[in-house]
Chain A
Amino acid sequence: EVKLVESGGAVARPGGSLRLACAASGFKFDDYSMNWVRQAPGKGLEWVSLVSWHGATTYYADSVRGRFTVSRDNGENSLHLQMNALRPEDTALYYCVRGYCSDLQCYFDKWGQGTLVTVSS
């Protein structure tokens, strides 16, 4: 069974930092790209970041580029999101999401339960 379990969510001050983690199991982790997607309370979904299967290529939404850094450890089957210079608008439930891509199609096929980040003074 595929499992994605996020951790590290907490209350942080504006300008502060947090590091989120996602523990993956039940599949060959390094066969897949991985993503972070967030959802502000009562709002819709916003893609945050993607890391390729090998970890060498990363992509970010404009809203977080330069402040957040995604990384992965394929030996530990884990995904991380280092969040710096946090802003109140970063307050959200952060989901770890598996991405599947073939030559013809790409989609997000497995989601974790999420970890809550609250940025408030």
Chain B
Amino acid sequence: EIVLTQSPGTLSLSPGERATLTCRASESVSSGNFAWLQQKPGQPPSLLIFATSTRATGIPDRFSGSGSGTEFTLTISRLEPEDFAVYYCQQYGDSPTITFGQGTRLDIK
């Protein structure tokens, strides 16, 4: 099973700042099968980015994803108040084996 490790666990920033979240995989992940999800309090997760770098419908361009192999990054260029949430990375492997990272909590500083 591919283990995804997200860092940091918690990130405290102010609106307008840049956020960089990292997800490291225990073995190589297909870029087409790597995604980022956002979860706000009391809500289900929602798709943010799929295939490493493609924004889901309606996601603003301040969100961007990059990476390959075992290291992936989610960048939020300028934080808006509604961006403070928990972010999960996800890989969809062969067999299939589907795993999530443990999450990064993005808090308002």
- Contact residues in A for B95 (Cβ distance below 8 Å): 59
Among candidates B51, B99, B103, residue contacting A47 with C-beta atoms closer than 8 Å: B99
Are A44 and B100 closer than 8 Å at their CB atoms? Answer: yes
Chain B interface category by residue count: 20 to 34
What 1/0 mask marks residues of chain B from 74 to 107 whose CB sits below 8 Å from any chain A CB?
0000000000000010101001101111110000
CB closest residue in chain B, given A99: B92
Q: What chain B residues lie within 8 Å of A113 (beta carbons)?
A: 44
Closest to A45 in B: B100
Partner of A112, one of B1, B35, B44: B44
Query: What would be 22 A-B contacts, judged by CB atoms less than 8 Å apart?
Result: A35-B98, A44-B100, A44-B101, A45-B37, A45-B45, A45-B100, A46-B100, A50-B96, A59-B95, A101-B92, A105-B32, A106-B32, A106-B92, A106-B96, A107-B50, A108-B35, A108-B90, A109-B47, A111-B46, A112-B44, A113-B44, A114-B44
Q: Which residues of B pack against A, CB within 8 Å? A: 1, 32-33, 35, 37, 44-47, 50-51, 56, 88, 90, 92, 95-96, 98-103
